[in-house]
Amino acid sequence: MVDVRLDFKSMCAEFDVTPRTLRYYEYIELLQPEKEGRSRFFTAREVARMKLIMRGRRFGFSLEDIRKWLSIYEEQGTKAQLEAWIDLADRQLDVLAEQRNTLDGKIKELQDLRDQTIESLARNGNE
């Protein structure tokens, strides 16, 4: 792996996150930067973890789910982590499908109301 070492500001810029977000991820132990005095440095390991965190957030996983999933690698290795990932992905796919169904219903309802309003205007437009 390439010897990556980003300072705090560079890490924020790399992932387009606020300093507060990065500090919070450190606080909840998603990230463990190296510390030198008051400075923090993020190694290739932390950069890789941040990529996984950002991907997980994009798909709607909770930070707690992400934290637990990342810890599986440390405790049980790659195979267990990948198996856990499949379970998490299956659950999230169900959640997203339900959200899509709900959204489709709302879109249909709004379109119907819009169409009714257009028809009403056309019928009563000559008044």
Q: How many domains are contained in the chain?
A: 1
Q: Tell me what pLDDT residue 52 has.
A: 95
Please check whether residue 119 lies inside any domain of the structure: no
Residue type present at position 63: L
First and final C-alpha spacing in the chain: 75
Please check whether residue 106 lies inside any domain of the structure: no
Please count the CA atoms within 13 angstroms of the CA of 100 that sit on its side-chain side: 6
pLDDT in tens, 88-113: 999 999 999 999 999 999 999 999 99
Cα 87 → chain centroid: 17
* Domain coverage including residue 85: 5-91
Q: Give me the CATH number covering residue 33.
A: 1.10.1660.10
Please check whether residue 114 lies inside any domain of the structure: no
Q: Tell me what pLDDT residue 126 has.
A: 62
For the chain, percent of residues with pLDDT exceeding 90: 91
Kind and range of the H or E run holding 69:
helix 63-76
Please check whether residue 64 lies inside any domain of the structure: yes
pLDDT of residue 37 exceeding 80: yes
Phi first, then psi: what are they for 61, rounded to 5°? -70, 145
